[in-house]
Amino acid sequence: MRLPAALIGINETRKGRMSGYLWLKAVHIISVISWMAGLLYLPRLYVYHAGVAAGSEASATFKVMERKLLKYIMNPAMIASFVTGLALIWQLGEAALTMGWLHTKILLLLGMGAMHGMMARWRREFEQDRNTHSHRFFRVMNEVPTLLMIGIVILAVGKPF
């Protein structure tokens, strides 16, 4: 069965052309994918890191991986996600004020930002061989960005209210 073009967001008169808004949204989604890749992988590195002795060769390798992931991928990707997301809101103008899904999404984004901040703190603790958390703790923490991501994507795509 073929879905009507309007239902899947294709405007027949503008077929083949992308507006500035859609370009911005594409860059937003690329940024978000990069940020999420780090948010889902860094706590997994912490699970393994918590299982090796402080000062060991394995620990030194994890430190490099964690620092590079946070500094070169996650921090720039988070900034790009916020900048493009806020630019989309600016483009939406006053209409954004009435979008309940967007307000709920922003609430969940505060949680995502807090997770990013906590991951940066745990990285510094590992760096200075001061980690006190177990691998089980990081296993549980690993699920938090996953749950937030599921909520955010359903809200952004479904716009249920």
* Binding-site residue positions for heme: 28, 105
Encoded tokens for 129: 């061989």
CA distance 78 to 35: 6
Question: Which range binds ligand HEM by CB under 6 A, 11-19, 53-61, 121-129, 149-157?
Answer: 149-157
Does residue 36 interact with ligand HEM by CB under 6 A?
A: yes
CA distance 104 to 99: 9
Does residue 38 interact with ligand HEM by CB under 6 A?
A: no
Closest CB to ligand HEM among residues 86, 114: 86
Number of residues interacting with ligand HEM: please give it, by CB under 6 A.
18
Among 10, 26, 153, 154, which residue sits at the site for ligand HEM (rule: CB under 6 A)?
153
Q: How far is the CB of 121 from ligand HEM (least distance, A)?
A: 20
Encoded tokens for 117: 């901040």
- Integer angstrom CA distances of residue 121 from 98, 102, 148: 36, 29, 20
Other beta carbons within 10 Å of 86: 11
Window 78 to 97, contacts with ligand HEM (CB under 6 A): 81-82, 85-86, 88-89
